[in-house]
Amino acid sequence: MATVLDDIILGVREDLEDRRRHISAPEVARHARETAPALDALAAFRADGPVKVISEVKRRSPSKGDLATIPDPAELAAAYEQGGATAISVLTEQRRFGGSIADLDAVRASVRIPLLRKDFMVDHYQIDEARAHGADIILLIVAALDDVLLRDLFQHATELGMTALVETHDEPEIDRALAVDAQLIGVNARNLKTLDVDRGLFAELAPRVPADRVRVAESGIRNPQDVADYVAAGADAVLVGEALVTGGDPRSAVRTMIEGSR
């Protein structure tokens, strides 16, 4: 039976073919190479100081439906940056998350910190697009890729000077992330096949990720206590969406999460 992740990727591939008909792959690749160099996201995550927060622009989701309208993603991202976010994640998938490449452009124009294009990457074209629109980081979901494609997309991002956030959900996926030499490794508490969230998963899996890698706890983070728990379990960074877009004061929410983890 098809999983939620399978369905999302089916739609992503259809939308990708549409865009490819409008702007050819060589053209997007040329734009990607002509764009100002990507910011060094790894350096930002490895800098001294408290936990790093990746703050997400997220309108809706398969698990929760509508979360926030976010009429001005640039304003939201600026609030995140003022609150002390290390990076901004922009969900660009349209069908299930209500995002777009236009959101990426708007956010890029409003912040100076590294930008993650959060989407379901299956093709060089999407990585070129991400770079051409100012993203510094792309997401690679191990569960969505075979080893050959994972390595190929990882190498392509690296060649463009980008950082890949390689997302895992179990031990074999961590081993696959390590096999491509991923430096930024996410453990998603949300199972993308069932949408169940397990906040205890990070603590179980983190010891398998070498300490010289940046360990990111993703999803289901509700408050500063959750962040503190993840830091105690070895997280260098957390990725937060829903709690920030629904809380009403994104700037203080980011700041409180950082302060609460000290």
Ligand X SMILES: O=C(O)c1ccccc1NCC(=O)[C@H](O)[C@H](O)COP(=O)(O)O
How many CA atoms are closer than 13 Å to the CA of 2, on its beta-carbon side? 8
Residue 94 as a binder of ligand X (CB under 6 A): the answer is no
The residue to which tokens 């994640």 are assigned: 89
For the CB of residue 94, give the shortest distance to ligand X in the complex, in Å.
14
- DSSP H helix total and E strand total for the chain: 12, 10
Write the binding mask 159 to 198 for ligand X: x where contact by CB under 6 A, - elsewhere. Answer: -----------------------------x-x-x--x---
Cβ atoms of 131 and 35 closer than 8 Å: yes
Is residue 13 classed as helix, strand or coil in its secondary structure? helix
From the list 81, 110, 118, 191, the catalytic residue is: 118
Write the binding mask 17 to 46 for ligand X: x where contact by CB under 6 A, - elsewhere. Answer: ------------------------------
167 is an active site residue? yes
Q: Which stretch binds ligand X (CB under 6 A): 37-45, 57-65, 174-182, 250-258?
A: 57-65
Residue 218 as a binder of ligand X (CB under 6 A): the answer is yes
Cβ atoms of 240 and 53 closer than 8 Å: yes
> Beta partners for 91?
118
Cβ atoms of 62 and 234 closer than 8 Å: no
Q: Which residues bind ligand X (CB under 6 A)?
A: 4, 56, 58, 61-63, 188, 190, 192, 195, 218-221, 239-243
